[in-house]
Amino acid sequence: MPDSVYLDHAASTPMRPEAIAAMVPFLAEHPGNPSGAHGASRAAKTALEEARESVAALCGCTPHEIVFTGSGSEADNLAIKGAAWAARARDGGLDRIVTSGVEHKAVLGACERLEREGFRVTRVGASTAGIVDLEALAGAVDEHTGLVSVMLVNNETGVRQPVDEIACLVRERAPGAVLHTDAIQAPQWIDFAPVVSEVPLVALSGHKFGGPKGVGALIVRDGIPLVPLVDGGGHERGLRAGTQNVAGIVAFAAALRITHDRRAEETARIAVLRDALERGFADQIPGFAVNGTPDARVAGILHCTFDDVEAETLLVALDQQGVMAASGSACSSGAVDPSHVLLSMGMPRRRALSSVRFSLGYASTGNDVDAALAIVPEVVAKLRAG
């Protein structure tokens, strides 16, 4: 059995070897600033634009529509704040934002900030299956709506949201609104290019699919007005000032390429591992239940409840045994409150506090599953007995 079992890939996935290989030369050998004029700068600029072209081809958009950022959270914030500010500047009546209660904290936090600035924010709930309430969303979107934001794949439950239906709804009910989706958990599991064709603003993050931390991207379709968060030298179409992280961007592009090329094979393999883990828990642990509909989950996430066990206590005990998992978003680690995602799904507080996320990725193996099945049931039984 492995010395440690990493089952927190939804928080961060190890870098792919191909991404590391692409990154290293721009850390050690090529120091140029891509905005400069000399040879080293031209080499950096060439690498930057080749990476942009590669990412655009995989996303089904033009290179001009790719804006590189410092993280997925920054991409979400640029989309939400930038679109809301632009809508208000264009038409003061477009002051309404509609989102869901199961969004990542980057989205909800940006909406809260805008609410303090006078925007009206409506947050719709989700079903017990984890799918956004489309009827409530339709009722919330109106002619005063400037922005709608619904994620593609939930980072806690792994449930895919019907973004294509939402795109149609927004076009019909709010012609002046811009739709944004946090697609950060999507590239490793689904072909998201069709979503890009329907959604004007799409956020990505490199370290979720084997790229480095500290680099993200926002797809901004042509004609979509945004107000930048960071002003400066006009980098990234004037939407994200600051010298680009060339090494990180090159690695981001390499990881996305490998993820795309191996997606079908890896998704099928990982789904088998996830299902084996789920069956093993169900067979060995009384009071075990899966959260989120199995019909709409991506392959790598198992979000589940262990009755009468506090999740944070369980995670500490598992970590001591070398099994690494999470109770939800890594951005909420250390929080004693139950997951806002589970509460928005109507889950009772007590059950939400007993829920844990196990997430697999390209590096996961059958040995990881075997080790987890040997350790988790025993730890749960000891905690219940204690």
Tell me which residue has tokens 């590096």: 363
Residue of 59, 168, 304, 331 marked catalytic: 331
H helices of the chain, where? 17-28, 39-59, 72-90, 105-116, 134-140, 163-173, 193-198, 246-284, 311-320, 340-344, 349-352, 366-385
Q: Could you tell me which of 209, 22, 39, 181 has the C-alpha nearest to residue 98?
A: 181
Half-sphere CA count of 222, side-chain side, radius 13 A: 5
The reply to whether 111 belongs to the active site is: no
Amino acid identity of residue 323, one-letter, is V
Phi, psi of 342 (to 5 degrees): -65, -40
Q: Could you tell me which of 361, 283, 285, 296 has the C-alpha nearest to residue 324?
A: 361
Task: Quote the CA–CA distance of 14 and 357 in Å, as a whole number.
Answer: 18
Radius of gyration of the chain (CA): 21
Catalytic residue annotation:
331
